[in-house]
Amino acid sequence: MKTNAAHLSPAAPSSRLASGAIRILTAVPLCDGHDSAIVTINLELVRHGVEVIYLGYHRSAADIARAAIQEDARAIGLSSYNGGHVEFFAEVLASLRRQDARDIRLFGGGGGTITPADARQMKRRGVDEIFFAGTPLAEIARFVKTNYAQPPKVIPKSRAPAKLSDRVLAKALTTAGNRSVFPTPMARGSTLTVGIAGPGGVGKTTLIDELALRFLKSHPDSRLAILSHDPSPPGKGALLADRAAMVYAHHQRVFLRSLPTRGKAGGVSRATPGSLEILKRAGFSLILVESAGTGQEDLPFARGLVDRQVLVMGPDYGSRLQLQKILMLESADFVVVNKSDQAGARTALSEIEQRLALNNREQKLIATVAKRHLDPGVDVLFNHLNSMKYPGQDR
Ligand code: B12
Ligand SMILES: Nc1nc2c(ncn2[C@@H]2O[C@H](COP(=O)(O)OP(=O)(O)OP(=O)(O)O)[C@@H](O)[C@H]2O)c(=O)[nH]1
Ligand SMILES: [Mg+2]
């Protein structure tokens, strides 16, 4: 990224920002697959109005710290059952400190594995709290709402550095997310923005993760940004879990931000245009935007929000009749039939092909099996996107 922080003009903290939602990142450490406790705790926190970004299990300290920074989480909650917690929690704190993010707090628990003596040692090293077996969930929710209600007073030291850090970028995105006034769009630069929409569970995140892998391989010096939406009711909590389904997008050359829709219908959030503008200014060459699961009438990327639109469908959309009702079949530049390993994929491809012919415009239809590593269909999609002349770019 070439742009420095001044281009983002991260605004001073405002009272609107101060009342922003509590964002917490949760995860299970490396070599630990005990995720049932954290899944329960996630849902309890969401029920209490917290926006929870769930990173999944078997995650390294560096990945956890990086994700918390990119998400501008107020705290990290770790669930640890397999031992090594004293060192692991300390490693997460050290990683945060190294990246000028000591204000991101750390708390956690882990049944009977973490002893009271361990907990005392962990607290001495900077962990806020450890919860033991049998703690009522309401007590955990109360702790989070009491201790992390306000954003930290600490302003990152690297506020106006020559180099744009993830930390500064993440703070700018939070400011945009809590405001209704967005930066004025710049003239188009050399960023290609691609919107990826489709019904819930069709494989959008899996596809984006595979596209990320291909991007990282073919652009060894560039960074990729991903804006990932999940649904949430207005003023309520949200479970933002796309990160947990990703493998390659945890790479340090990927900047991933999860956005709740906060009650906005249609697949994206009110903060999306502003967030995209900030990422474009930050100089990413490719930005992938995943919509929340969309329905027949949704057009998440209308009014030129992105340069190219991808509609992901599964073979199970119903019958030909349903194809007349999916509005995005008109506007999509690429229609992907994912889960082509499943029954009905051939029929789906042929029916969608006939439906697209009625539009009489250049639209590509591609069959993929995104969950299969190095799927040739995903290669086709990536190669099309990669060969696209990035807007405003002379190549
Ligand atoms: C269920 C379970 C499993 C399930 C896990 C299912 C899943 N997807 O999570 C299965 C059967 C798969 C499993 C497998 C294994 N397990 Co196991 N498992 C357990 C068990 C019985 C319960 C853990 C649990 O989920 N409890 C339910 C939660 C909700 O209750 P809780 O712990 O009281 O939770 C409270 C607090 O701890 C706290 N808390 C917990 N996490 C967090 C996080 C945050 C952010 C906060 C705020 C609070 C908090 O709040 C909770 C609410 O009150 C424990 C024994 C135990 N009693 O802890 C062993 C235990 C953790 N397992 C153990 C072992 C050894 C294994 C295996 C290695 C067994 C094997 N040889 O294959 C594998 C490893 C799996 C892996 N990949 O990591 C050992 C670990 C020993 C150690 N210290 O290393 C334990 C302690 C059993 C034992 N006594 O030997 N296990
Ligand atoms: N059979 C099959 N399963 C797939 C394929 N691609 C993804 N999946 C599975 O589909 C499930 C949902 O995948 P995600 O990538 O999370 O779907 P999504 O569209 O991002 O889901 P939401 O964000 O919740 O709307 C996961 O269990 C994937 O492993 C595929 O090509 N074939
Ligand atoms: Mg998803």
pLDDT at 84: 97
CATH code of the region 19-147:
3.40.50.280
**Is 82's pLDDT higher than 50?**
yes
Residue (of 59, 202, 201, 37) closest to 131 by Cα position:
37
pLDDT tens readout for residues 187-218: 456 899 999 999 999 999 999 999 999 999 99
**Residue 92 CA to ligand 1 centre (angstroms):** 21
Work out the pLDDT band at 112, boundaries 50, 70, 90: confident
pLDDT tens readout for residues 347-362: 999 999 999 999 999 9
**Is 4's pLDDT higher than 90?**
no
**Residue 351 CA to ligand 2 centre (angstroms):** 22
**Residue 67 CA to ligand 1 centre (angstroms):** 24
Look at 80 and 20; give whichever has higher pLDDT.
Answer: 80
The tokens describing 368, both together, are 């993929």
To test the ligand 1 pocket, which listed residue (81, 146, 148) has its Cβ within 8 A of the most ligand atoms?
81
Structure-token match 């929690």, residue found: 89
Q: How far apart are CA 269 and CA 273, in angstroms?
A: 8
DSSP assignment string, 71-136 = TT-SEEEEE--SS-HHHHHHHHHHHHHHTT-TTSEEEEE-TTTS-HHHHHHHHHTT--EEE-TT--
Query: In ligand 1, which atom is closest to the CA atom of 26?
Result: 45
Question: Average pLDDT, whole number, for the chain?
Answer: 90
Q: Measured from the CB, is residue 134 less than 6 Å from ligand 1?
A: yes
pTM over 0.85: yes
Residue with CA closest to ligand 1 atom 28: 37
HSE, CB side, 13 Å, CA atoms: give it for residue 364: 17
**Is 302's pLDDT higher than 80?**
yes
Residue with CA closest to ligand 1 atom 4: 34
Q: Which stretches of 153-282 are assigned E, i.e. beta strand?
A: 192-197, 224-230, 238-240, 254-260
Class of 166-386 in CATH: alpha beta
Residue 22 buriedness (CB in 10 A; 0-12 / 13-18 / 19+): buried
Work out the pLDDT band at 64, boundaries 50, 70, 90: very high
Q: Taking the domains of the chain in order of start, what are their residue ranges?
A: 19-147, 166-386
**Residue 205 CA to ligand 2 centre (angstroms):** 7
**Residue 374 CA to ligand 3 centre (angstroms):** 19
Residue with CA closest to ligand 1 atom 52: 135
To test the ligand 1 pocket, which listed residue (28, 34, 44, 85) has its Cβ within 8 A of the most ligand atoms?
34
Q: Which residues does ligand 2 sit against, CB inside 6 Å?
A: 198, 200-206, 242, 245, 293, 338-339, 341-342, 369-371
pLDDT tens readout for residues 216-245: 999 999 999 999 999 999 989 999 999 999
**Residue 201 CA to ligand 1 centre (angstroms):** 28
Containing H/E element for 54? strand 51-54
pLDDT at 45: 98
Look at 177 and 45; give whichever has higher pLDDT.
Answer: 45
- Give the lowest-confidence range in 35-39, 110-114, 124-128, 293-297: 110-114
Burial 86-105 (b: 16+ CB within 10 A, else e): bebbbbbbebbeebbbbebb
**Residue 206 CA to ligand 3 centre (angstroms):** 7
Q: Measured from the CB, is residue 81 less than 6 Å from ligand 1?
A: yes
Residue with CA closest to ligand 2 atom 13: 203
